Amino acid sequence: MSAGRKRALAVLLAIAAVIAWGVFGSKYALEVSNYVLSSPKLTAPIRVVQLTDLHNSEFGENNERLVCMVARQHPDLILMTGDMLNGREDKTEIAVSLVRRLTEVAPVYFSYGNHEVTHQSTFQKNLTVLFEKAGATVLDRTYEDVTVNGQTIRLGGIYGYCLPEKYLRTGEAKRWECEFLKEFQNTESYTLLLAHLPTCWIRNDNLDIWQIDCVFSGHEHGGQIRLPLIGGLYAPDQGFFPGRSSGIYASQNGKRVMVLSRGLGSGVGVPRFGNVPEIVVVDIVPKRAMEEE
């Protein structure tokens, strides 16, 4: 074989390997993304693990690899931000079993995504009962004040776009969402909101108007197909080449943030590519302590 043909074969093999990893790694691999936030409202650090958009995926038998990786992070809280199952698939045990196992690691808080909403209406199942029997606290238009490392924080969950009150006159905002968020933010404690839909937090002015310290979202799947130097190819509610499909996004004054996870799985349709499933770990530390480092 000539040198030119050998080089061509090597290039083709390299391309095939990249494509194979882009498909295989995006379905079976796992990686941890770490972020550090700070707040003067805290007196002690809090470590949060976020899981989202599982879509009935499994990482090892009974999700053993996923549970072990979460356990190694030693979280204080585990937040599940929706689409842990598939809306039109009558299967709940994968998500329920995962909740059951993770409650042995840390307290689990669960909020709904569009697939939980669809699943309940399609199969007439009460998912709140299922997940709470497994040990999770389901936050569906509700919130709780909880003590973590000797301090009170407020945890809430909502499925909706959460547009501020000024959008009521255009009919885009929903009054019940506004009423819930006004009540939720009325506290001196640090606030964590589980809100599956990220669009209005990164495209509108939700982060600037709502006085909520940290919002955890999913839904975008990191753009589903991720390309080098470009990022995500397509995201719901944002369209092609959304740009903002994963990571940390801040309000204009930098005081409030949204954490947007690429998630763990895919719904029906186009598979993930170049998009390794993600466990998000966020350390929220007292601002004074962070400034002294």
- pLDDT at residue number 235: 78
Alpha carbon distance 34, 24 (integer Å): 23
Q: What is the pLDDT of residue 6?
A: 52
Identify the pLDDT of residue 104: 97
Give the pLDDT of residue 14: 45
> CA–CA separation, 204 vs 166, rounded Å?
12
The predicted pLDDT at position 20 comes to 53
Long-range own/partner contacts, residues 177-181 (CB < 8 A, 24 or more apart): 180/141, 180/156, 181/210, 181/212
What integer pLDDT is reported at residue 276 of this predicted model? 93
Query: pTM, whole model, 2 decimals?
Result: 0.91
pLDDT for 291 equals 54
Q: What is the 3-state secondary structure (H, E, C) of 138-196?
A: ECCCEEEEEEECCEEEEEEEECCCCCCHHHHHHCCCCHHHHHHHHHHCCCCCEEEEEEC
pLDDT at 240: 83
Q: Give the per-residue pLDDT at 234.
A: 77
* pLDDT at position 7: 61
State residue 19's pLDDT score. Answer: 54
- Sites in the chain below the pLDDT cut of 50: 9-11, 13-17, 289-290, 292-293
Contact assessment for residue 158 and residue 113, using Cβ atoms and an 8 Å cutoff: no
Strand order in the sheet with 190-195: 142-148, 151-158, 190-195, 214-217, 257-260, 247-250
